[in-house]
Structure 1
Amino acid sequence: MYPDAYILFLVEFHSTRDYFECHEILEDHWKEAPSAERDPVWPGLIQIAVGLYHERRGNLTGASKCLKNAGVILGPLPDRLQALGLDADRLLQIIQEQLDHLGEPFRDINLPITDPGLEAQCIRLCEQKKTPWLQASPLEDTDLVHKHVLRDRTDIVHERDKQLRIRDKQRRSRGL
């Protein structure tokens, strides 16, 4: 009923609170579709996770920008959010409340899941992974809080170099 990537996103979002991983999971899922068929709900949910990631790190400007973008993207999509088992109105309220409290001590949010079956599926996956559902962010875990700075970027650097070589080859073949 729901995409596997969405279930994994919800588990990371509500259990490990690895908002960076949430972004990675949904971005990969979103990019699987051809450009013309990409569902805008995914970038909206990604923006929430990225906004929380920034806020937790103290980057309030980045948090504000991402959370506002999430509201702009998701506001016109109540039917899509409802199809994903979320309360659209409550979600927009939660985003605004988070924006209103930027600068205060960080607090996680829980997405307003309306489908008990979806939540049960997420809880079962948490039990399998031995991670608690709805745990608070482990703010002392610097590897989690600053993941984008501390992660191994070798694959990213190699992919970027590969794409640069491809573009250079294409330019040379066009005589530029």
Structure 2
Amino acid sequence: MYPTEYIQFLAHFHGDRDYFECHELLEDYWKKTDSRNKDSIWVGLILLSVSAYHHRRSNFSGAERTLRKAIKIFELQADSLTNLGLNKIDLYQFINRQVYALQNGESYRSFSLPIRDPNLLELAKKTCEQKGFIWENESDLTNNSLVHRHKLRDRTSIIKERNQSLKTRKGSE
């Protein structure tokens, strides 16, 4: 019923709090299924995880800007939130509190998505456990490879993809 990538996203989001991996998982899925749709629910969830990643690094303006983009998508895709087993009202309430926290420079705190479907919750918890994570574990703020992951990764494939995209665009002009 739910895509495997989404279940894995939830396991990382609530387990090891690897928001970068959350982004990667859903971005790959989005590119395979709905890549032309910038208002896809997958993009909204990607942006939510990116916002948490920025907040944890104390990049308040980046976190708020990204979260506001996610909010716009969630408003457009309210039914998709429900279809993905989330409680949209609880999510909206949390996001509004989160915007306030970011505007006031409040420190990052781990949070959970309001999963309303008990079957989804069970599946996500099981996947989390299989990965060796603890469900709703607090984020390890001392783990630099988690907190600053984007700075530590190999970007060769990303640069190659961007250069190819640039060549394609220039060729069509």
- The two structures have a TM-score, normalised by structure 1, of 0.88
Structure 2: give runs of 5+ residues left out of the alignment. none
Change in Cα spacing, 1:34 to 1:122, as seen in structure 2 (3 Å) is closer
Change in Cα spacing, 1:42 to 1:34, as seen in structure 2 (3 Å) is closer
Larger radius of gyration: 1
**1:162 Cα offset (Å):** 4.3
What SS does the aligned partner of 2:92 have?
Answer: helix
Residue number among 152, 155, 166 corresponding to 1:153 in the alignment: 155
What SS does the aligned partner of 2:85 have?
Answer: coil
Q: After the TM superposition, which of the residue ranges 81-90 and 68-77 deviates more from structure 2?
A: 68-77
Pick 1 or 2: higher relative contact order, CA cutoff 8 A, min separation 6: 2
**1:136 Cα offset (Å):** 0.7
Tell me the amino acid that sits aligned with residue 108 of structure 2.
F
Find the aligned partners of 2:28 and 2:44 in 1 and give their Cα distance: 14
Tell me the amino acid that sits aligned with residue 123 of structure 1.
K
**1:70 Cα offset (Å):** 1.3
Q: Residues 128-148 of structure 1: CA distance to partner in whole angstroms, max 9, x if unpaired?
A: 111101101100001111111
Moved over 6 A (4+): none
Q: Which residue of 2 aligns with 1:125?
A: 127
1:144 matched to 2:120? The reply is: no
What SS does the aligned partner of 1:101 have?
Answer: helix
Q: Which residue of 1 aligns with 2:69?
A: 69
**1:34 Cα offset (Å):** 5.1
The answer as to whether partners of 2:14 and 2:135 remain within 8 angstroms in 1 is yes
**1:126 Cα offset (Å):** 1.5
The answer as to whether partners of 2:23 and 2:49 remain within 8 angstroms in 1 is yes
Find the aligned partners of 1:76 and 1:37 in 2 and give their Cα distance: 12
Q: After the TM superposition, which of the residue ranges 138-147 and 121-130 deviates more from structure 2?
A: 121-130
Structure 1: give runs of 5+ residues left out of the alignment. none
Change in Cα spacing, 1:82 to 1:158, as seen in structure 2 (3 Å) is same
**1:164 Cα offset (Å):** 4.8
**1:48 Cα offset (Å):** 0.8
